[in-house]
């Protein structure tokens, strides 16, 4: 008997879940059901910064998801598919008043405290500043890339 699995939603969560389920259960029949596709989803216009916060999730599970996500996106960002998938690396400075080192800090590339000489400029209104490199995922490219690469050619089908 063929296992039939339905995934509701064709944003980044639905498409990624369907691909992950299909990879794990190759004999299953996976169908994505959604009333909005690619450019009509929130994921299409998302800022796309990879900062794996997982509020309300047990720490060990959040860490595993963060590590898996970091491996996946950093690998894509440094591969020949970076441009077509819309996944690249971006460096920046985050200013905040939260915890000194948030849990997602473990997954960032080259995370450092803001340099001493920049503190007078940037820490007037914030307690902490961190510089790091992470992935940025352009939804308007990543969703079609995922669909073309993994959904269309394989057994996952998409219906509205
Ligand atoms: C301006 C902006 C900037 C953002 N920046 C970032 C960022 O930098 N980093 C970050 O991590 N996140 C960011 N986010 C959040 C991120 O975009 C969302 O968390 C993410 O896109 C959610 O993906 P999703 O697949 O769950 O939902 P969506 O992309 O909204 O997709 C939902 C899917 O479910 C389907 N659906 C829903 N209800 C039904 C139903 N009843 N029947 C059938 N289908 C249904 C829809 O049709 C659609 O296909 C940002 C969001 C916004 C708005």
Ligand 1, from 16, 17, 31, 42: best to mutate by most atoms within 8 Å of Cβ?
42
- 14 CA → ligand 1 middle, Å: 9
Residue 38 predicted with pLDDT over 90:
no
pTM assigned to the model? 0.90
Lowest mean pLDDT among 88-92, 105-109, 137-141, 155-159: 155-159
- 2 CA → ligand 1 middle, Å: 30
What pLDDT is attached to residue 1? 81
**49 phi/psi in degrees, rounded to 5:** -75, 130
- pLDDT category of residue 154 using cuts at 50, 70 and 90: low
What pLDDT is attached to residue 153? 61
Q: What SS3 class is residue 1?
A: coil
Cα–Cα distance between 117 and 130 in angstroms, integer?
13
Average pLDDT score over residue span 11-39: 90
Cα dihedral: 62, 63, 67, 68 (round 10): -40
Cα–Cα distance between 114 and 129 in angstroms, integer?
5
Atom 30 (ligand 1) nearest CA: 42
Query: Which domains, ranges and CATH numbers included, belong to the chain?
Result: 1-46+139-160 (3.50.50.60), 49-137 (no CATH)
Percent of the chain exceeding pLDDT 90 equals 63
- pLDDT category of residue 17 using cuts at 50, 70 and 90: very high
Percent of the chain exceeding pLDDT 70 equals 94
Regarding beta strands 157-159 and 4-8, do their DSSP bridges make them parallel or antiparallel, or are they unpaired?
unpaired
Nearest Cα to Cα of residue 45 among 137, 140, 135 = 140
pLDDT digits (tens, 9 = 90+) for 116-139: 999 999 999 999 999 999 999 999
What pLDDT is attached to residue 11? 94
- 22 CA → ligand 1 middle, Å: 21
pLDDT digits (tens, 9 = 90+) for 72-99: 999 999 999 999 999 999 999 989 898 7
Cα–Cα distance between 152 and 160 in angstroms, integer?
15
Regarding the beta carbon of 14 and ligand 1, being less than 6 Å apart is answered yes
Regarding the beta carbon of 90 and ligand 1, being less than 6 Å apart is answered no
- 11 CA → ligand 1 middle, Å: 6
Atom 17 (ligand 1) nearest CA: 46
Atom 2 (ligand 1) nearest CA: 46
Regarding the beta carbon of 12 and ligand 1, being less than 6 Å apart is answered yes
Q: How many Cβ atoms from other residues are within 10 Å of residue 21's Cβ? A: 16
Residue 160 predicted with pLDDT over 80:
no
Regarding the beta carbon of 42 and ligand 1, being less than 6 Å apart is answered yes
Determine which helix (DSSP H) or strand (DSSP E) holds 73, and give its type and residue range. helix 59-77
Cα–Cα distance between 100 and 74 in angstroms, integer?
24
Sign of CA dihedral 69, 70, 72, 77: positive
Cα–Cα distance between 95 and 25 in angstroms, integer?
42
């Amino acid at each position: 008997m063929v296992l039939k699995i339905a995934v509701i939603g064709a944003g980044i969560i639905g498409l990624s879940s369907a691909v992950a389920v299909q990879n794990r259960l190759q004999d299953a029949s996976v169908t994505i059901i959604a009333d909005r596709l690619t450019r009509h989803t929130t994921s299409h216009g998302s800022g796309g910064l990879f900062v794996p916060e997982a509020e309300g999730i047990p720490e060990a599970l959040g860490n595993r998801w963060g590590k898996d996500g970091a491996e996946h996106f950093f690998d894509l960002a440094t591969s020949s598919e970076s441009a077509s998938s819309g996944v690249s690396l971006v460096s920046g400075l985050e200013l905040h008043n939260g915890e000194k080192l948030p849990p997602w800090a473990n997954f960032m590339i080259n995370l450092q405290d803001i340099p001493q000489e920049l503190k007078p400029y940037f820490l007037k209104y914030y307690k902490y500043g961190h510089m790091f490199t992470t992935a940025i995922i352009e939804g308007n490219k990543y969703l079609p890339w995922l669909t073309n690469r993994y959904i269309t050619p394989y057994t996952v089908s998409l219906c509205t």
